[in-house]
Structure 1
């Protein structure tokens, strides 16, 4: 007998809604009943392609509120979404039913002596970074501070500190998790170890995390970071530099030097550049960026300087690169083994340019990323140690297609899939490549980074050989598949 289809809550009686309101201390916002000026900001998202008009939004002010809301969801078999930072590519924080919006749960407590942070589930990465930096400590978070701790931690989480300290999930010490029956349990190496395994890479498949406890690291507050933009006629030399940059600089920096190549398509040309980040003093950093400067000339105004780590992750810097109207985004990613094929990189850039050239006035802020960061620390963890299955040394190639018109949604989504399918084919066919996803300290069957995707990829591409164990966990913790927004695992399929 199959599970009953979840409903969007639009037919709930006023008595049921009153019961929900009386069971929580936080706000309950109902579409069509609450003022529009209150409702509309709550459904806004970073990626406007995934704005959905939820019928009910609950803003819990405590774990008890979260628990009561989940029990209400279960009682009425509602479609439910979890909203934390709302900064996602594939839109799992959006839905038409009930949204549990954690924005009121934002406390950060730093234990300076034990070098830990206890963080409520609605916090953003930037809030944790700022609190830790104030006492000379640093958490492992992503490359930008606008992401919610919930998504980046349960999804794995790669940042510029990962070469030194691993994934965001690898720095998780414990979590408090609200299960599908409303119970709140602790997940750690000592308690509910199977759940702890699942929430480190398995996303929201097993519950809603109300609180994270992270390991922190001693660090100087200042790092060296910035963008180096190069002229279009340096594109070939740019791609040919990448193996040298990776092997002779990044991999010899003890995890301190992080570098990502960026490619834009402007005026029919390939416009290359690098985002650099060095965890150390400027005189050291300049030795590592020298090969980039030698490609020169770098564009006036581009370059790097010493700044606080929290400045380097500030989303406001990145947001300036995108005019406000360009807020519809699809991300897609794959991987390539080292040494990189300069020929494939050049063909990838040309294919990227071809997609942008279909609608240059609508897609010109799109970017191609060639991630040269050191993944050996991530790959050193056994594949079956956590649900996160993308533990391999290699180069991530990702693309953000960004546009401004809703009517282009379907076309650009299809173009993005076609683009990455072609890139994967080139990688697979290259005799120097040892398979698209079978290289590394631990063999992984994944072909993408799940936090930069459109959300429709096959589960094997996300979880690889860990799927079997995840199905068993789903049967135990969420047999009726309440949590179904981020690569949902079906225990019966």
Structure 2
């Protein structure tokens, strides 16, 4: 299809911008026209590597504003990005054209009897969590409360509750979606079922979600959670412990125990740790993490405590790991089957140490991540039930390279790709030796978790066998490729 190239809006006549301003209740901010103190803060993103100077930023106040803005984008063939939580690795919430900034649409209503929450499209996870916890209920959201509901829901969404209830997307009951022509439609099991299939894992490929309806779950708000750190001399024992923690404890907890390993480099030494979360009382939680306690954490008495679930996702507890001056990052991931090869884990750690050693001052807060949570519930749902394609049990290995020097951007992007390519090669070789190459971490969509990526992987790695249906839906709902910021599916291009 010969599509006209989308424009950034810098040459729009003033009459067109005036018409947009007069047709929406929300604010229209224009580069070079609006005050800098109003314009600049709207560009800020969690990952400063992806800050782009948008020519037009619209802050809708109503769903009608969203519809009007999308029609304006279509009329002028503008480049467009959707911004809600602004908490992405690969920068799809930024653009040089028009940004639809949903930050003013953050109302949440909870129906206790029906056990549902209805959240506007600009909500962040913490908005839904707080409103639900206040009435003894709990939504399934991700690891941190600062992520936008739009991104984490349409991208799939894994959190500590996923072992019990599945993905964030699996707990979506309905959504209202602004299509490329500006129409607002309902997507659910009863209406526009194909669109509902697509927005659960297909990201923003088919439209902008203006409202989410989530299933909620009864829960005691108090959970047992905290961090445990270990001295460098315990690294080998720490890596050996990972299989034990997953297979003998996480997988036998009925989804109540979540364990995430993380590792940082300090003074050239690997400092390992675990973040644990247990959905139950402290005395039970301690039994499930006894091997971890036996390993001898540095601060055993202050590692974990009972706290509201909402505090365990509060971004503030993670901020010490992400100092504000270190605000450029790239993350990518892969999956490895259980039982984990400790040899691969050791080689992965050594490779990570080598990377940090190349720029120790700039990369000092970078992290290596090992997700030991139970993926059985996620994997129990058929692969073709939703667009989300990474439905298998395994350990997610992720890397967060974090730095503070803009001059390192290109180098670090390539370093992250090379690092994960090497880890995937080790995994593939190990799988072949074990005779499980066809189900290993190198196959199709099992190579990554699309919300923790550098944003440049092949579409088949994200959508796997669902890519064909994704292309069909793209032809139906967005043939002009308006929505092209998060793994955009072009029906006319090969995989």
Q: TM-score surpassing 0.5?
A: yes
Question: Is this contact kept in 1: 2:228–2:300, CA < 8 A?
Answer: no
Range that drifts further, 81-90 or 429-438: 429-438
Question: Is this contact kept in 1: 2:145–2:314, CA < 8 A?
Answer: yes
Question: Is this contact kept in 1: 2:336–2:440, CA < 8 A?
Answer: no
Match of 1:266 in 2: 266
Name the CA distance, whole Å, in 2 between partners of 1:301 and 1:326.
Answer: 30
Name the CA distance, whole Å, in 1 between partners of 2:323 and 2:296.
Answer: 27
Match of 2:331 in 1: 331
Match of 1:411 in 2: 411
Give the C-alpha shift of residue 300 in structure 1: 6.5
Match of 2:465 in 1: 465
Match of 1:160 in 2: 160
Give the C-alpha shift of residue 301 in structure 1: 7.3
- CA RMSD in angstroms, aligned pairs only: 1.3
Name the CA distance, whole Å, in 1 between partners of 2:103 and 2:70.
Answer: 17
Give the C-alpha shift of residue 444 in structure 1: 6.3
Name the CA distance, whole Å, in 2 between partners of 1:13 and 1:392.
Answer: 51
- 1:225 counterpart = 2:199: no
Match of 1:320 in 2: 320
Name the CA distance, whole Å, in 1 between partners of 2:244 and 2:103.
Answer: 44
1:82-126 CA distances to partner (integer Å, 9 max, x unpaired)?
A: 001000000000000000000010000000000000000000000
Give the C-alpha shift of residue 22 in structure 1: 1.1
1:153-207 CA distances to partner (integer Å, 9 max, x unpaired)?
A: 0000000000000000000000000000000000000000000000000000000
Matches within 5 A, 1:139-150: 139-150=139-150
- The secondary structure found in structure 1 opposite 2:71 is helix
1:53-94 CA distances to partner (integer Å, 9 max, x unpaired)?
A: 000000001111000000000000000000010000000000
Structure 1 residues 173, 333: CA separation in 2 closer, same or farther (over 3 Å shift)? same
Matches within 5 A, 1:62-101: 62-101=62-101
Name the CA distance, whole Å, in 2 between partners of 1:433 and 1:478.
Answer: 43
- The secondary structure found in structure 2 opposite 1:317 is helix
Match of 2:439 in 1: 438
Match of 1:105 in 2: 105
Range that drifts further, 260-269 or 471-480: 260-269
Give the C-alpha shift of residue 433 in structure 1: 5.2
- 1:282 counterpart = 2:276: no
Name the CA distance, whole Å, in 2 between partners of 1:446 and 1:276.
Answer: 25
Structure 1 residues 216, 79: CA separation in 2 closer, same or farther (over 3 Å shift)? same
Name the CA distance, whole Å, in 2 between partners of 1:299 and 1:437.
Answer: 43
1:399-451 CA distances to partner (integer Å, 9 max, x unpaired)?
A: 000000000111111111111011001000114555577259xx964310000
Question: Is this contact kept in 2: 1:437–1:447, CA < 8 A?
Answer: no
Match of 2:484 in 1: 484
Give the C-alpha shift of residue 378 in structure 1: 0.1
Structure 1 residues 388, 436: CA separation in 2 closer, same or farther (over 3 Å shift)? farther
Give the C-alpha shift of residue 289 in structure 1: 1.2
Matches within 5 A, 1:235-246: 235-246=235-246
The number of residues matched between the two structures is: 491
Match of 2:19 in 1: 19
Match of 1:374 in 2: 374
Structure 2 stretches lacking a partner, 5+ long:
none
- The secondary structure found in structure 2 opposite 1:349 is helix
Name the CA distance, whole Å, in 2 between partners of 1:413 and 1:157.
Answer: 23
Structure 1 residues 143, 436: CA separation in 2 closer, same or farther (over 3 Å shift)? farther
Question: Is this contact kept in 1: 2:428–2:440, CA < 8 A?
Answer: no
Match of 1:420 in 2: 420
Name the CA distance, whole Å, in 1 between partners of 2:302 and 2:83.
Answer: 36
Question: Is this contact kept in 1: 2:175–2:210, CA < 8 A?
Answer: yes
Name the CA distance, whole Å, in 1 between partners of 2:341 and 2:100.
Answer: 45
Question: Is this contact kept in 2: 1:471–1:489, CA < 8 A?
Answer: yes
1:28-62 CA distances to partner (integer Å, 9 max, x unpaired)?
A: 00000000110011010000000000000000011
- The secondary structure found in structure 2 opposite 1:225 is strand
1:206-261 CA distances to partner (integer Å, 9 max, x unpaired)?
A: 00000000000000010011100000000000011111111110000000000000
Matches within 5 A, 1:378-397: 378-397=378-397
Name the CA distance, whole Å, in 2 between partners of 1:447 and 1:90.
Answer: 17
Give the C-alpha shift of residue 299 in structure 1: 3.5
Name the CA distance, whole Å, in 2 between partners of 1:352 and 1:434.
Answer: 28
- The secondary structure found in structure 2 opposite 1:397 is strand
Question: Is this contact kept in 2: 1:163–1:255, CA < 8 A?
Answer: yes
Question: Is this contact kept in 1: 2:132–2:139, CA < 8 A?
Answer: yes
Name the CA distance, whole Å, in 2 between partners of 1:482 and 1:330.
Answer: 26
Question: Is this contact kept in 2: 1:337–1:433, CA < 8 A?
Answer: no
- The secondary structure found in structure 1 opposite 2:447 is coil
Name the CA distance, whole Å, in 2 between partners of 1:449 and 1:433.
Answer: 24
